[in-house]
Amino acid sequence: MIKVRRAVNFDAANMADLLNEIIAEGGTTALTRPVTGADLIERMAFAPERSAWHVAVDAKENIVGFQWINPKDDLPQGAVDIATFVQIGQTGLGIGSALFEATKQAAKALGYIWINANIRADNEGGLIYYQSRGFQDYGVIEGFEMANGDLVDKRLKRYDL
């Protein structure tokens, strides 16, 4: 049984561990360097009145996924950016669906009218996940340079609330 709740600073170290496994595996996130719990606490503190962070926990209260929405300067008024991370080996079990239900409600409560997903074009799982939630294609970024110098294309998708 998966339960979703608001993320708190205490969750940051476990969230960082989960994310670092995904970064180390490669191919699904534009993040290329490991993060620390302190890094995530700093991110959670950015515009807290316009952001929402959720964690999915299993029956033993272990974090098995997390999702956030944060404003981005390059998005129009009323839009917010989303990021989703599910523990390796736990995809396809409803974790992402449960997280998105909580995130949708939070986005509406914060007054957003649409959610932006910026996905690596080679991240098949991420593209399928956002498509299955009802996100629609609206743009492409070609040749995005990641922090490690790699170039990837990105697909832009939006979900209208």
Q: What is the pLDDT of residue 147?
A: 83
Supply the range of the domain harboring residue 133.
3-160
Q: What is the pLDDT of residue 27?
A: 67
CA distance 123 to 80: 21
Give kind and range of the element (H or E) at residue 13. helix 12-25
Whether pLDDT at 135 is above 80:
yes
Task: Please state the φ and ψ torsions of residue 136, each to the nearest 5 degrees.
Answer: -115, 140
Name the least confident of 22-36, 37-51, 97-111, 142-156.
Answer: 22-36
Which sign, positive or negative, has the C-alpha torsion 72, 10, 133, 27?
positive
pLDDT tens digits for range 5-43: 999 999 999 999 999 999 998 767 777 789 999 999 999
Q: The tokens of 121 are what? A: 């074009």
Q: What is the pLDDT of residue 44?
A: 94
Q: Where residue 145 sits, what CATH number does that domain have?
A: 3.40.630.30
CA distance 71 to 63: 24
Counting the structural domains of the chain, the total is: 1
pLDDT tens digits for range 45-91: 988 899 999 999 999 999 999 999 999 999 999 999 999 999 988 77
